[in-house]
Amino acid sequence: MELPTVLFLLFVSVQSKLHIFDAKVTKIPAQKGTRIYFLTNGNEANLTLFTVKAEKSQIDTNIFAFSVPQADGSLNPLVVTADNDTVFVTRPDGDTTPVTLFQDRVTENLNVFPVFENSALQFKAGKNVYFAVDKPNGKILTIQNLKVDRQKDGYLRAYSGVPGDLIPEPYLFFTSDVYTDITFYQQLDIPINEFSLDPVFDGVSYTVGFGYLTITLQSSGLIMSPEFPITQQPSDMSFNVNRNGDEDISLHMNTYFYRSLSYNTEITVRFGFGVENVQSFPSELNGRLGASGKINSVEVSSIGAYALQYWTNSTATNSEGSTIPAGQGTTPSIITTTNSSYFISNSLSILTLIVSLLIGC
Ligand SMILES: *[C@@H]1O[C@H](CO)[C@@H](O)[C@H](O)[C@H]1NC(C)=O
Ligand SMILES: *[C@@H]1O[C@H](CO)[C@@H](O)[C@H](O)[C@H]1NC(C)=O
Ligand SMILES: *[C@@H]1O[C@H](CO)[C@@H](O)[C@H](O)[C@H]1NC(C)=O
Ligand SMILES: *[C@@H]1O[C@H](CO)[C@@H](O)[C@H](O)[C@H]1NC(C)=O
């Protein structure tokens, strides 16, 4: 047996909502109202050969129309119209096009966007979910030119993963509410494969696409460790701060850690004249950092995940470096080991599934 088959069978055996006869046919039990989204960067000729059938819903077609985005970039889902139906997706012999299936039945106003190398996806009213289907070299998912208009009740909250994830549940990594005076962010770095944005109906604009990791802190943005929120890989990142001549910079950071794991994240602020200030943040508390002075750079070091929402201002009132821990944590429930079979069987709710259609062997 080849490795993909073994992994697939493991997945199937613990995820009772999925049954696969062989690596080429994917069988999905579905209810009335189930929406299935096909995420792929495959080409038309290949996708039209992937068949999809569901007897009770009288579906007998191919996946092309459900894999190619509409004008606004979102997908038109396949909708199951009968209860207790079964959807069969069949991969043509020898085809290796990567296709992932995302299923949802409960999220209202859901928009699902595949993100391609050349995507520049605009805000759409509703719950927006983004999947990287391309993996352009050296680039990550980003939100750019985020504008939040409070006069129109604009706000934005961003979560890792997709609705229906159980471990971890979609995990908050950005909220425009924490800094009420900041209404524009140049770039949020999102070096993960899937994320979602809360429904907002007005007063927000942005572009989602691929971009380069932040190297120099902007006036406002977000930096994030890879594999947020679950990672136990050490990650050290360093950021420059643009400072003109002798001016002071003020820096404000709001931290997001994975509270179910216990680890420390150190943030070092380096000032001119060789002065530095190191603060250690425990993951159980979402702390805040405020520093001002002749800041040259910032370093972040952690063995766990972090996302840091920040803004800077070049006219500071203090000349001393200072840090202000703030925010009270809830009691953490600490999990120090992750059992992989446990992880798989619990990582998605029964209402939402992501399936990678494996390549036939
Ligand atoms: C669907 O299946 C369940 C359980 O087998 C059954 O109780 C229900 O009546 C079925 N619904 C329809 C519409 O067939
Ligand atoms: C797409 O289809 C063509 C023609 O059948 C085939 O040669 C090619 O390998 C397919 N592409 C992939 C990625 O499987
Ligand atoms: C930045 O500093 C200037 C001058 O002190 C102040 O007017 C402005 O409100 C500050 N910006 C923010 C976002 O606080
Ligand atoms: C992982 O979890 C499963 C199911 O709870 C259990 O049977 C197994 O012994 C666990 N394995 C380890 C290494 O803890």
3-state SS string for 175-237: EHHHCCCCCEEEEEEECCCEEEEEEECCCEEEEEEEECCCCEECCEEEEECCCCCCCCCCEEE
Verify that 70 and 154 share a domain, yes or no: no
Verify that 115 and 166 share a domain, yes or no: yes
Verify that 99 and 156 share a domain, yes or no: no
Q: What is the pLDDT confidence band of residue 244, given thresholds at 50, 70 and 90?
A: confident
Question: Per-residue pLDDT tens for 192-204?
Answer: 999 999 977 789 9
Residue 172 belongs to a domain? yes
Output the pLDDT for position 23.
Answer: 55
Residue 3 belongs to a domain? no
CA distances from 62 to 45, 54, 59, 72, 153 (A): 11, 11, 9, 22, 42
- In angstroms and rounded to an integer, the radius of gyration of the C-alpha atoms of the chain is 22
Output the pLDDT for position 5.
Answer: 38
Domain stop point among 106, 139, 170: 106
CA distances from 99 to 28, 66, 89, 170, 208 (A): 15, 11, 11, 22, 21
Residue 296 belongs to a domain? yes
Residue 5 belongs to a domain? no
What rounded mean pLDDT belongs to the chain? 80
- In the block, residue with structure tokens 């202000």: 324
Q: How large is the average pLDDT for residues 57-85?
A: 96
Residue 145 belongs to a domain? yes
Verify that 25 and 173 share a domain, yes or no: no
Q: What is the pLDDT confidence band of residue 7, given thresholds at 50, 70 and 90?
A: very low
How far is ligand 2, taken at its centre, from the CA of residue 64, in Å? Answer: 14
Verify that 176 and 325 share a domain, yes or no: yes
Q: How many CB atoms lie within 10 A of CB 169?
A: 15
Which residue's CA is the closest to the ligand 4 atom numbered 5? 342
Helix ranges (H only) for the chain are 3-14, 44-47, 64-67, 340-346
Domain range for 56 = 10-106
**Across the strands, what pairs with 142?**
189, 209
Which residue's CA is the closest to the ligand 1 atom numbered 12? 83
Domain count, the chain: 2
Query: 244 φ, ψ to 5°?
Result: -90, 120
**Residues 6 or more apart in contact with residue 213 via CB below 8 angstroms:** 140, 189, 191
Domain stop point among 49, 79, 106: 106
Verify that 70 and 159 share a domain, yes or no: no
In this predicted structure, which of 274-278, 291-295, 323-327 has the lowest mean pLDDT? Answer: 323-327
Does 319 sit in the ligand 4 pocket, CB within 6 Å? no
Verify that 191 and 268 share a domain, yes or no: yes
Question: Per-residue pLDDT tens for 97-144?
Answer: 888 889 998 898 999 999 999 999 999 999 999 999 999 999 999 999
Verify that 140 and 92 share a domain, yes or no: no
* Pocket-testing residue among 185, 313, 318, ligand 3, by greatest number of atoms within 8 A of Cβ: 313
Residue 100 belongs to a domain? yes
Residue 317 has pLDDT above 50, yes or no: no
Domain stop point among 106, 137, 164: 106
Output the pLDDT for position 79.
Answer: 97
Does 83 sit in the ligand 1 pocket, CB within 6 Å? yes
Verify that 236 and 88 share a domain, yes or no: no
- In the block, residue with structure tokens 């060789």: 274
Residue 311 has pLDDT above 80, yes or no: yes
Verify that 200 and 265 share a domain, yes or no: yes
Residue 255 has pLDDT above 80, yes or no: yes
Residue 16 has pLDDT above 60, yes or no: no
Per the model's pLDDT, the better-predicted residue between 93 and 130 turns out to be 130
Verify that 84 and 149 share a domain, yes or no: no
Distance CA 88, CA 20 (A): 9
The 8-class DSSP code of residue 272 comes to G
Q: Which burial class, exposed, middle or buried, applies to 100 when counting CB atoms under 10 A from its CB (0-12, 13-18, 19+)?
A: middle
User: Looking at ligand 3, which atom is closest to the CA of residue 181?
Assistant: 13
Residue 345 has pLDDT above 70, yes or no: no
Residue 53 belongs to a domain? yes
Output the pLDDT for position 347.
Answer: 41
Verify that 115 and 102 share a domain, yes or no: no
